[in-house]
Amino acid sequence: MKQEANIYEIAKEAGVSIATVSRVINHSSAVSEKNKRRVLAAVEKLNYVPNNAARSLSTSTSTSVGVVIPDISNPFFSQLLQGITLASDEMGLNIFLFGTNENSEREHKVLDSMREHRLRGVIITPVSAEDGETLRRLHNFEARGIPVVLLDREVDSTAFDRVVTADDEGVFLAVNELIRIGHRRIAIITGPEASRPGRERLRGYCRSMEAHGLPLRDEYIRKGNFMVQCAYEQALVLCSLPEPPTAIFSSNNMTTYGCLKAFGELGLRIGEDIALVGFDDIEELRWLNYNLSVVSRDVPKMGEQAMRHLMRRLENEIRPEHGTRTCLPTELILRGSECLPKKKTL
């Protein structure tokens, strides 16, 4: 049996947004005659019939929101969930949590399984910004009247509301500080190139190095994946170079853990033998007297903002042409691990 067309397919056929299709189907006056004719022609061509029963079922009495995160073990996402649950409690909504383990195929399966739940909305930190299969599934949620909010990472579309932070600027300021106090051999262990945070944090590093006329040395730019093991291996490589860096910027908290594991094996002390600045604060390190300098941000607020975006969407039946992008600030906190090594070499 041929699968019924949905409004995402209607929008693609008509060359308009999903919001425009929704307005035409719901007889809203906020649509130009030209776009209205396009949508109606696509509806006729694809034999589309609005499934009012299904739309009502998906949104009428449900109080559940699906939250999809890539790494349940990462404390960063625990802090995001604190903000999400704080706001959801105020709004009388329940949270269903799904993990993807930074794996795109698992993400696809998770999103498919979520269709069986009666969800009012979805908040997701996608694995990749370039995954067309994930994007198609997210559009399908929107087509069923289930709004989607992106959190921390984005996809290649402006259709969704999203909450991010000024990652580029935060790393730019951190590397500027390392250069100001005398570092010249500065390395970075990056995040995944397919994720917005990975790209933005690398961009901030490159901007700062170029602004000060320092070379971008290939051996100092190590590809990471936001996971401990990879960062550990890359930190060992950096420390074994003939001319090792005097400072390393770690692109997330799990990368920082990997660096510290490598330093521990090599007997290196941060702020004395090698400098380390990380992205995202790690409260547990302060308990252990690790005075780590970091690019920090209000992570619970990010989660809270995402939930409030979702609530606004649920309360507003007419969806705007483009989603709203909220960018929260970052802050550089210096605690001493940024200092020049006391020794000239590692």
pLDDT at 95 over 60: yes
Length of the chain as a residue count: 346
pLDDT value of position 26: 63
User: In the predicted model, is pLDDT for residue 131 greater than 50?
Assistant: yes
How much is the pLDDT for 7? 67
Q: Is the pLDDT assigned to residue 50 strictly greater than 60?
A: no
| Residue tagged 């004719």 (tokens) | 37
126 closest CA partner among 88, 152, 159, 145: 152
Query: In this structure, what token pair is assigned to residue 64?
Result: 């559940």
Yes or no: say if 60 and 51 are a contact pair by the CB < 8 Å rule.
no
Whether pLDDT at 49 is above 70: no
Would you call 338 helix, strand, or coil by DSSP?
A: coil
Distance CA 307, CA 88 (A): 7
Pick the residue with more confidence: 90 or 272?
272
Instruction: Judge: domain 167-297, CATH 3.90.950.10.
Output: no
The model's confidence at residue 319, banded by pLDDT at 50, 70 and 90, is low
- For 63-165+299-328, which CATH class? alpha beta
pLDDT score of 67 more than 90: yes
Cα 90-79-197 angle, rounded to 5 deg: 120
Higher pLDDT, 180 or 64: 180
Nearest to 68 by CA among 18, 131, 1, 20: 131
Pairwise CA distance, residues 112 & 142, whole Å: 14
Position 341 pLDDT exceeds 80: yes
**Cβ contacts of 272 within 8 Å, gap of 6 or more:** 339, 341, 342
d(CA 101, CA 127): 9
Specify which residues 187 forms β-bridges with: 248
Element spanning 221, H or E: strand 221-222
- Per-residue confidence at 268, pLDDT binned at 50, 70, 90? very high
Order across the sheet with 331-333: list the strands. 221-222, 186-189, 247-250, 275-279, 293-296, 331-333
Least confident segment among 116-125, 247-256, 268-277: 116-125
Instruction: Write out the H or E segment, with its range, that includes residue 334.
Output: none
* In the chain, where the domains are located: 7-43, 63-165+299-328, 167-297
Across the range 103-110, mean pLDDT stands at: 95
Taking the C-alpha atoms of residue 179 and residue 186, their distance in angstroms, rounded to an integer, is: 8
- Give the pLDDT of residue 38: 87
Q: Supply the pLDDT for residue 314.
A: 83
pLDDT at 301: 97
Residue 144 and residue 3: Cα distance in Å, rounded? 15
H/E element, 332: strand 331-333
pTM for this model (two decimals): 0.79
pLDDT of residue 30: 63
Identical fold, 63-165+299-328 and 167-297? yes
Among 4-18, 189-203, 208-222, the range scoring the smallest mean pLDDT is 4-18
Beta bridge partners of 119: 64
What single-letter amino acid sits at 346?
L
Query: Euclidean distance between the first and final Cα of the chain, in Å?
Result: 67
Average pLDDT over every residue of 254-273:
96
Residue 3 has pLDDT above 70, yes or no: no
In this model, does residue 28 exceed pLDDT 80? Answer: no
Q: Find the mean pLDDT for residues 63-80.
A: 92
Element (H, E) at 16: none
Note the pLDDT of residue 2: 45
Least confident of 22-36, 190-204, 294-308: 22-36
